[in-house]
Amino acid sequence: MIVAIDGPSGTGKSSTSKAVAAQLGLSYLDTGAQYRAITWWMLNNGIDVHDAAEVATAAAKPVIVSGTDPTGPTITVDGEDASGPIRTQEVTSKVSAVSAVPEVRTRITELQRTIAAGAAKGIVVEGRDIGTTVLPDADIKIFLTASPEARAARRSGEVKGSDLAATKEALIKRDAADSGRKTSPLAKAGDAVEVDTTELTLQQVIECVVTLVGEKQAAR
């Protein structure tokens, strides 16, 4: 069973995906962490992240390994734990530029497909182009949405001292960058089930997705 969960930042993708995977006994993959990891590596190695040619040349160099245990997902870059460093504001502000480079997307997409294929019991994969590009044949595709205000409030709650208006502006800017890129843009797959999480609690979203997956399993 391959479950693809897509959507923009702040919709509850990560929390939902991890909980669903844990509840159903499936593996879990945060694809956004992989793009953050390669961005972090670029910044650490003096690569100009706004120079697409330079980024493309370096794309194959870092060794990125993702742990798929939903109760404790890990990510290392060249053997170094990167789970903390990839969440900095610097990485957040640069990841869209790096992930828009076709060579980066090709490299990471291949990695994601390999991980999904090797998940013996099935996997929940979350991202922005999973149902459309990475795993178009996923058993079930879910697209999470929420209002910009709700998303900003959630994201601000995760980062102490953050400004709500600035957070909302940053989210909208990232939406535009991710939806507008030429290679694998953020988009809802034609056969995806859309779930608006604006008025839902996290537990309600988790229950909704578990129900959808259960219905799909029963239909098989």
Q: pTM above the 0.75 mark?
A: yes
Distance CA(117)–CA(140), nearest Å, equals: 15
Is pLDDT above 90 for 203? yes
In tens, the pLDDT along 13-64 reads 999 999 999 999 999 999 999 999 999 999 999 999 999 999 999 999 999 9
Per-residue pLDDT, averaged over 193-199, amounts to 96
Is pLDDT above 80 for 160? no
Spatial strand order of the sheet with 64-66 comes to: 64-66, 75-77, 80-81
Residue-level pLDDT at 169: 87
Containing 2, the helix (H) or strand (E) segment is strand 2-6
Q: What is the DSSP string of 80-92?
A: EE-TTGGGSHHHH
* 192: DSSP letter: P
Per-residue pLDDT, averaged over 174-192, amounts to 87
